[in-house]
Structure 1
Amino acid sequence: MRYLSFRRPNGEASFGQLLHHDRVVDLGGAGGGTLAAALHAGDLERRRQGDTFSLEDVVLLPLIPNPGKILCVGLNYATHVAETGREQKDHPAIFTRWADTLVAHEQPMVRPRVSTDFDYEGELAVVIGKGGRAIPKGQALQHVAGYSCFNDGSVRDWQKHNIQFTPGKNFPGTGAFGPALVTPDEIPDLGSQRVVTRLNGNVVQDQPVSDMIWGVADIIAYVSAFTPLSAGDVIATGTPGGVGAKRNPPLWMKAGDLVEVEIGVIGTLKNRIIDEW
């Protein structure tokens, strides 16, 4: 199954199931509803079907428009650890994003006015379907609702103002998320799916998910040890090597650029870059 969050033609926010790549069956019910709420209720597959819309007639929203938590993993591919010159640690680096930093598929990512050092980071996103605390690694994948694409756009100079990542990861409109939630049964081999980032058609990142230092189950077990996870929470699992900041000269995203994050059968997330007004 593939699910989307969107605005109906009348402007109401809702969510639904994607059919044949060009039709959306509305599952939000009267007054709209959210994908996160349906995951929390555990009734996503039993939702009463509403109107069917052409994909062209709806406006996509970030896959989970208002997640309770967005947890991001840093330095989770050895190639990225190496290019940063950092030492590989015994535990994953975890930082947070805020919901108002997210934009949807085919919405513009915003380069802030205070910086030109705007970098791409293509990543696999995990959406939690069943909450829990201190989840054992062996049970962790049972808590996954599905997967999507994520671009953890980074304002590098602000990220490096001090030892914490937070400022460089939380400018409004700098993170992209979508287009669809793809359920695990649609992905025969998650590890073989390649995280490919293209900037203006040129491949700048390309590695299989299997190259992650900490896999999805490891990450869920680790983060749920210190914070409870809830349905609709999002985990961005880290970016491969090839980021713009570590190229010579650096490769920054600028207004007019097209950035794409493609992850095998999971889909492709596309965004243009604009400058902050």
Structure 2
Amino acid sequence: MKLLVYRLKKALGDYRVGAFVEERVIDLNEAYRQLLLHQGEIDLVRNINSLLPTNISDYYSLGEVAFERSKEAIDFTMRNGLTKGVYDKEEVELAPPIPKGSKIICVGKNYKDHVMEMKSDIPDFPVLFNKFSNAIIGAEDSIQKSVYTEKLDYEGELTIVIGKEASHVRKEEALHYILGYTIGNDISARDLQKRTPQWLQGKSLDHSSPIGPWVVTGDEIQNPANLSIKTFVNGELRQNSNTEHLIFNIPFLIEFVSRLITLEPGDVILTGTPDGVGFGMEPPQYLQAGDTVKVEIEKIGTLENKVVDEKKSIR
């Protein structure tokens, strides 16, 4: 299932939880309501928002129950050719498919070739830092280039979305705590990042870091350790690697992080970027207003965003 957060362009109401199926968006709450009506479950229909919430935070808090009900709702909609609550992709705008208050944990130096191009040392332990929610934008938003940076860079990354509370998880069980996977672009202001030993100021600029367009649930990606990952800038291939080259793989990361921090449904982990970033080119090639950055990850899809100057940004 491709889980997303959307709202109708013509209405611009509250964002709702949907699924992307055969090039269309299905509203999961409405689809499940139609299923219950078909089954004659009138009393359950009255509690539809608690059974399958429209809010992504509430949805994630239900865990596997929401996932199973969503699959039932999608199957019922497709089998019966229902159209209510089903929209063409052009009719909707997408938001990041994660709750607003999620913990956004990033992993640095997690591909050997990227470590080398950054002229750094291979770490003995995962290098962790965080972003704040002010940095996160959706698949259809523009990357805002702050007036305080001249060295804005891209970093395409496989991103994990947590599905249930995880504390002191063993790596052998780690994949069971993952709801699914999405695409992240860890936009980095290299001049701000490198002026102090701490990276935060270069990693969490307002409206800078896209995540999306949807979360592909774990049942559709049973082996996240073998996914191709590519990043293009204005159509030019810059990053071309595979998640098999991660220094610290996903089960290890879940075990490592959950020993330090309790992970909750909707939290995300950006797993690191491969080589090919603008900083590592000769001469360095940084993002400018008007550029388009596209990240493609096998079995997930494409995340494509334009870069705009801060003073010209609409959102």
Shorter-chain TM-score above 0.5: yes
Per-residue CA deviations over 1:50-85 (Å, capped at 9, x if unaligned) read 722222111100111414200000000000111112
- Flag the structure with larger Rg: 2
Per-residue CA deviations over 1:8-52 (Å, capped at 9, x if unaligned) read 342211111111023333438669733332122122231585722
Equivalent in 110, 128, 138 of residue 76 of structure 1: 110
Between 1:88-97 and 1:59-68, the stretch displaced more is 59-68
Counterpart of 1:6? 6
Q: Is the 8 A contact 1:37 1:232 kept in 2?
A: no
Give the partner amino acid of 1:46.
R
* Whole-angstrom distance in 2 between the partners of 1:26 and 1:185: 18
Q: Is the 8 A contact 2:93 2:140 kept in 1?
A: no
Between 1:230-239 and 1:99-108, the stretch displaced more is 99-108
Equivalent in 6, 17, 20 of residue 19 of structure 2: 17
Give the partner amino acid of 2:282.
N
Residue identity over aligned pairs, in percent, reads: 35
CA distance 1:150–1:216, change in 2 (3 Å): same
* Consecutive unaligned residues in structure 2, runs of 5 or more: 31-47, 74-83
The answer to whether structure 1 residue 46 and structure 2 residue 106 are counterparts is no
Question: What's the TM-score once normalised by structure 2's chain length?
Answer: 0.84
The answer to whether structure 1 residue 33 and structure 2 residue 35 are counterparts is no
* Consecutive unaligned residues in structure 1, runs of 5 or more: none
Task: Judging by fraction of residues, say which structure has more helix.
Answer: 2
Q: Is the 8 A contact 1:140 1:220 kept in 2?
A: yes
* Whole-angstrom distance in 1 between the partners of 2:296 and 2:101: 22
CA-atom RMSD, angstroms?
A: 1.8
Specify which structure has the bigger relative contact order, considering alpha-carbon pairs within 8 angstroms and separated by 6 or more residues. 1
Give the partner amino acid of 1:220.
I
Consecutive aligned runs of 4 or more in structure 1 exceeding 6 Å deviation:
none
Counterpart of 1:123? 157
Give the partner amino acid of 1:19.
V
Q: Is the 8 A contact 1:19 1:25 kept in 2?
A: no
Counterpart of 2:242? 208
Counterpart of 1:162? 196
Equivalent in 188, 195, 198 of residue 229 of structure 2: 195
Question: What's the TM-score once normalised by structure 1's chain length?
Answer: 0.95
Secondary structure in 2 aligned to 1:80? helix
Q: Is the 8 A contact 1:118 1:154 kept in 2?
A: yes
The answer to whether structure 1 residue 242 and structure 2 residue 276 are counterparts is yes
